[in-house]
């Protein structure tokens, strides 16, 4: 949760400042239909058997309404999303064979998602809240850095394991050459996804907000519906998940909106 909070601080400040600029207008918008396109970019990380994951990605989406009526409490949306990203993880915990685990996880998501939009709230306040669920194909590629620049296995005995976690991590980064030459996972699987979008509708066609989504496996063994994103199974660790937080920009390209003015 601390990682998610840190990732959200800057985008939230951007949205808050923009809302303050437009707060003098007391009008809301009622959407009539049309396609919506969006894109975003932001940080990502993997929740898995390997610690210290950091990364980033970008996404593109195309969607529309399945159900939408003026003044209805809820609306139902659909969208197709393409997401690409890369995570790195260097685990500070020494393995039983006196090595340390490092991985690079590249991922491509092709997801179909259904969103439940709080329509009446958006009409009256311009605040957009949409939780969503979906499923899609994830192509995951995991590599590890086993050899140094001379082609020899890393000598991890130079790492002082009596240091703090952060210092061990820093020493690992200095030791490795950053070339993840050994592929250990390259597979595609059908994975579910879930998340939420919280944003603000700035005009008749443009909205911006923060979106967090998770693609997760159901077990830990690579299969048609599982990608082991660290190629490791550690008892007591959570099931592998990939988290992505984006600053999302959305445009409606359909018919014009009807503007509804509220009394101040």
Flag whether 150 is in a domain. Answer: yes
Closest CA to 199 of 188, 207, 191: 207
What's the pLDDT band for 231 if we cut at 50, 70, 90?
confident
| Token digits of residue 211 | 């979106």
What does pTM read for this prediction? 0.82
Quick one: pLDDT at residue 112?
Answer: 98
Rounded Cα distance, 119 and 70, in Å: 8
Q: Each residue of 11-37: pLDDT tens digit?
A: 444 444 444 444 444 455 565 568 999
Spacing of C-alpha 108 from chain mean position? 12
pLDDT of residue 18: 45
- Find the domain containing 154 and state its range: 2-23+36-256
pLDDT digits (tens, 9 = 90+) for 54-95: 999 999 999 999 998 888 999 999 999 999 999 999 999 999
Tokens 């970008």 — which residue? 58
CATH number at residue 251: 2.40.160
Is position 82 within any domain? yes
What span, in angstroms and rounded, lies between the C-alpha atoms of 229 and 46? 8
What digits encode the pLDDT tens for the residues 109-147?
A: 999 999 999 999 999 999 999 999 999 999 999 999 999
Average pLDDT, the chain: 85
Res 29: pLDDT:
59
Tokens of 264: 């101040």
Q: Is the pLDDT of residue 167 over 80?
A: yes
Q: Is residue 30 part of a domain?
A: no
Cβ-contact 145, 101 below 8 angstroms: no
Is residue 223 one of the residues assigned to a domain?
Answer: yes
Is the pLDDT assigned to residue 238 strictly greater than 70?
yes
Residue 28 maps to a domain:
no
Percent over 90 (pLDDT), the chain: 64
Task: Report if residue 263 sits inside a domain.
Answer: no
Distance CA(237)–CA(156), nearest Å, equals: 24
In a domain, 264, yes or no: no
How many domains, in total, are found in the chain?
1
> What pLDDT is recorded for position 180?
94
- Does some domain include residue 154? yes
């Amino acid at each position: 949760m601390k990682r998610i909070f840190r990732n959200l601080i800057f985008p939230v400040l951007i949205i808050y400042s923009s809302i303050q600029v437009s707060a003098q207008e007391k009008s809301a918008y009622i959407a009539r239909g049309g396609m919506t396109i969006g894109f975003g970019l932001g940080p990502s990380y993997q929740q898995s058997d390997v610690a210290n994951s950091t990364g980033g990605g970008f996404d593109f989406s195309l969607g529309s309404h399945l159900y939408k009526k003026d003044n209805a409490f809820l609306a139902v949306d659909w969208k197709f999303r393409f997401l690409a990203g890369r995570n790195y993880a260097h685990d500070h915990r020494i393995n039983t064979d006196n090595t340390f685990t490092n991985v690079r996880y590249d991922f491509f998501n092709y997801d179909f998602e259904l969103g439940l939009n709080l329509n009446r709230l958006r009409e009256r306040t311009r605040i957009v809240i949409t939780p969503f669920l979906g499923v899609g194909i994830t192509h995951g590629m995991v590599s590890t850095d086993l050899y140094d620049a001379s082609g020899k296995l890393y000598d991890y005995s130079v790492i002082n394991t009596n240091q703090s976690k952060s210092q061990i991590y820093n020493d690992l980064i200095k030791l490795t050459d950053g070339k993840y030459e050994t592929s250990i996972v390259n597979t595609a699987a059908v994975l579910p996804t879930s998340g939420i979008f919280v944003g603000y509708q700035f005009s008749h066609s443009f909205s911006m907000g923060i979106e967090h989504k998770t693609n997760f496996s159901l077990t830990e063994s690579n299969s048609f519906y599982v990608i082991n994103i660290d190629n490791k199974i550690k008892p007591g660790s959570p099931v592998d998940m990939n988290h992505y937080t984006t600053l999302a920009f959305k445009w409606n390209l359909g018919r014009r909106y009807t503007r509804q003015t509220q009394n101040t």
